[in-house]
Structures are given as structure tokens and as C-alpha cells.
Amino acid sequence: MANVVVVGAQWGDEGKGKIVDWLSERADIIARFQGGHNAGHTLVIDGKVFKLSLLPSGIVRGGKLSVIGNGVVLDPWHLVEEIAKLRGQGVEISPDNLMIAENTPLILPIHGELDRAREAQASVAKIGTTGRGIGPAYEDKVGRRSVRVADLADAATLELRVDRALVHHDALRRGLGMEPVDRDGLIKALREIAPEVLQFAAPVWKVLNDQRKAGKRILFEGAQGALLDIDFGTYPFVTSSNVIAGQAATGVGLGPGAIDFVLGIVKAYTTRVGEGPFPAELNDEIGQRLGERGHEFGTVTGRKRRCGWFDAALVRQTCATSGVNGIALTKLDVLDGFDELKICVGYDLDGKRIDYLPTAADHQARCKPIYESLPGWSESTEGARSWADLPANAIKYVRRVEELIECSVALLSTSPEREDTILVTDPFAD
């Protein structure tokens, strides 16, 4: 059976939540493979709004197994809060439908404290993090000083892991003028939260391999967007994990052969939260209009998103690095009513035309967008469920996007409602 990876192909906020929810009806297992609770997914189901930041989107659908893989960094206190909130909305959550990899690293309070302290340093350029400890938790993971889910089950191991982490963190805190960590208080808090987390702990790699052999369909759910990838994003204004599709296998414990189709989620225009380069950004009335029509505020942080025209050069680049087989184009309806639309087709770098965003930060800063203009449309595309419902110019816009990014549209989303989706190619087709 086909297994599908869903990745954001821009800077995040592309509408992955709805698409994953739409696809989850066809899947047996929905697995998160990277990121933390800095990601935000908004689902609208039968008029009811669910806001998720850590749990896989499939958790709101009955009869599905939701998995948090080892590629995620997990804040156990946030996990408990999010579960309680969803249960309050009538969602059933138990070890029968939620599983957390035993080797998942934990986000501790000291990670958030360090994250915020660094961002507050006036002498250091801000990265624009959410301050939730994601980056420091990933640093501890690669530094081999993480507390992982399995460590919560043994008191001696837990103390050993905490002590190893504090050798590093207390030294950092001294340099930042912070008080040493309350070791005993941290261990006590972890022991108290341990039962809430351990009930969901499992050898995810084994379960997923067994389920795959049994013919079950797996939907791999990523967070953020490929332009925030630690290797291929606009470094250093990126997240602290690999976001591209190759991480899906590593982030849950499957081989790369488990991936059959990569679906890139692409917004019909471009947005970005936080700091960093954005060649096609519009600091004018058009940018303001896109933000207002698209309700461009972060699900997790509430921060206003920067807006600009669709950047085909960037999406073509991310489709290549993630091996995207087809895209889901979202928020086409936000472009309704524009007399003229523009697409960024490349950049002018010191008088030379290039068709990709260079790696060097100073080159990125000097890139000026090269636009191609297309006619807009006055008719509404909101709620369209077939090509016949779309204005001719809207179809021309979509076709031109396909040509420029060198990838076809598999799904077209025309509103936050899951039913308002045009299926072109079924990602789950065998």
C-alpha cells in the first residue's frame, strides 16, 4: 500500500493541517516525524475548530493510530495540556490511538529559558524563534545529553541524564547571567509528569515496520516548511531540524523505501513568520490585503505573517530537495478580486539573473525578485470542488505555477473546509 509524506514547501503555514486531515481518512496511521510544539495546525471539521501544535492531525479522526516519532522533540507538560484541551472538545485520546517513540527527546523547562535568554541578548541578531525551547532541545540531542521518554521509567537513569545535561546548561546560564538550575526541582517535576507520558511510550520503529508489512497505509506529517530546514533553509533563520521529506523515514525509524509519494503543500502566495530573507515580500497595500484576506496570523504564536507574491523559484527549489511528486495548492481563494497577479520567477543578483536562492546570506540579501504578471479574476473560487467551478484565469494561474515549479498539482484547496478540495492525483494510489 502507498505511504505518503506531507511536507510544507515554503516557510510553513501552508495549510498542512487541512490537507493531512483530508488525507488521513485514507490512512491507517498518521506519524509526526520532526519539530515540536512550535508548529501550528488548524483543522475545521463540521464547523468545529481544532488547533494542534504537537499532536498529529489524525488524532481528531476516530479509528486512526497517531504517532509522535523520535525526530520530534517533546514537551511533556505541553503534551498533557494539549491532550486535556482536545478531550474537552470531545476527542478521545488513549494509548490505543496515540503512541510516542521511546527514544523521543524531551523539551525541559531549562530549554525554553535558554531559548528566551538568547533571543533577549541585544548583541546577538535575533533568529525569531518561538522561545519554546525547540532549538536547545535539539542541541542536547546531538550533544548526547538529552532526557528521552524511556529515561522517565527509571529513577537512577533519569538522575544521570539530568546531571549530564546540567553540566552543560549551568555553564551556559552563568555566561548569560542566569541562576543555576534547580536540579531537585527539575527531577521532581519529571517524576510527576512521567506516568502521563509513559502510558503512550512504545517502540515506534517496530510497530510501524510491522504495520507496513501488514499493508497498512502510513501518512507522514511534517511541521514548519522546507525553507526552514536546518540544512536547506535560509540559515540561520531556520528551525533546528530537517524538515524535508528525507527526514520522514529517519524521524520514525523506517527505511527510505517506505516512502511512496511526497506531497508538497504550497500556498498560492508566500508568507513568512519571524526574521530572515524574503525576496518577494510586499511591504505595501497588496501585502496588507493578502494578510487580511488570508488571516495570516500564527496558530501558535499569534504573530503576524509577512506576505508576498508566489515565489516559483523557491518552490521549485524545495520540490527538488524534498523529491516532491505533486503539490497541494492552498488558499487560491485569497487571490480572488485582484486585477493583476505576479509570480516571482527568479532573482536579479548584482545584475545577473539566477533561478534559485543562493546559500550565502549576503547574496540572499541582495537578491531582487523578477516578476511575471498574469491577469487576475473577479469571480470567487472559495468552496470550488471541481475545475469547472474555477474561473478561466484561475486555471491559467494554476497551470503557470505548475510549469514554473516543474511539478504538477495533485490537490487544490479552496477554503479551510476539508470538503472544499479538488482531487487531481490521488497520493495514496498504488
β-bridge partners, 50: 43
Does the active-site annotation cover 284?
no
β-bridge partners, 43: 50
The closest of 316, 205, 200, 185 to 250, measured between CA atoms, is 205
Q: Which of 13, 28, 333, 420 is catalytic?
A: 13
Please give the sequence-ordered ranges of beta strands (E in DSSP) within 244-300, or none if there are none: 261-267, 270-272
Burial class (CB in 10 A: 0-12, 13-18, 19+), 397: buried
Q: Cβ distance 295 to 415 under 8 Å?
A: no
Query: For 304-330, what is each residue's pLDDT tens digit?
Result: 899 999 999 999 999 999 999 999 999
Which H or E run includes 137?
A: helix 134-142
CA atoms of 278 and 344, how far apart (whole Å): 11
CA atoms within 13 A on the CB side of 370: 15
CA atoms of 5 and 261, how far apart (whole Å): 6
Is beta strand 310-311 parallel, antiparallel or unpaired with respect to 29-32?
unpaired
Q: Cβ distance 79 to 45 under 8 Å?
A: no
β-bridge partners, 31: 67, 220
Query: For 65-89, what is each residue's pLDDT tens digit?
Result: 999 999 999 999 999 999 999 999 9
Is beta strand 326-330 parallel, antiparallel or unpaired with respect to 310-311?
unpaired
DSSP 3-state of 61: coil
CA atoms of 330 and 271, how far apart (whole Å): 12
Predicted pLDDT at 58: 86
Does the active-site annotation cover 41?
yes
Tallying the residues shown for the chain, one arrives at 430
CA atoms of 236 and 233, how far apart (whole Å): 8
CA atoms of 99 and 95, how far apart (whole Å): 6
Find the largest Cα–Cα distance for the chain: 67
Predicted pLDDT at 416: 80
Predicted pLDDT at 122: 56
Predicted pLDDT at 61: 84
Query: For 379-424, what is each residue's pLDDT tens digit?
Result: 999 999 999 999 999 999 999 999 999 999 999 999 888 788 999 9
What pTM did the predictor assign? 0.92
**How many C-beta atoms surround the C-beta of residue 361 within 10 A?**
14
Predicted pLDDT at 301: 61
The closest of 157, 164, 121, 158 to 141, measured between CA atoms, is 164
Q: Which of 21, 37, 41, 169 is catalytic?
A: 41
Predicted pLDDT at 49: 86
Taking 70 as the pLDDT cut, the residues of the chain under it are 1, 122-128, 298-302, 430
Alpha carbon separation from 349 to 291, 310, 362, 404 (Å, rounded)? 28, 19, 10, 19
Q: Which residues contact 271 (CB under 8 A, 6 or more apart)?
A: 10, 11, 13, 290, 291, 294, 296, 305, 306, 307, 308
Q: Cβ distance 74 to 138 under 8 Å?
A: no
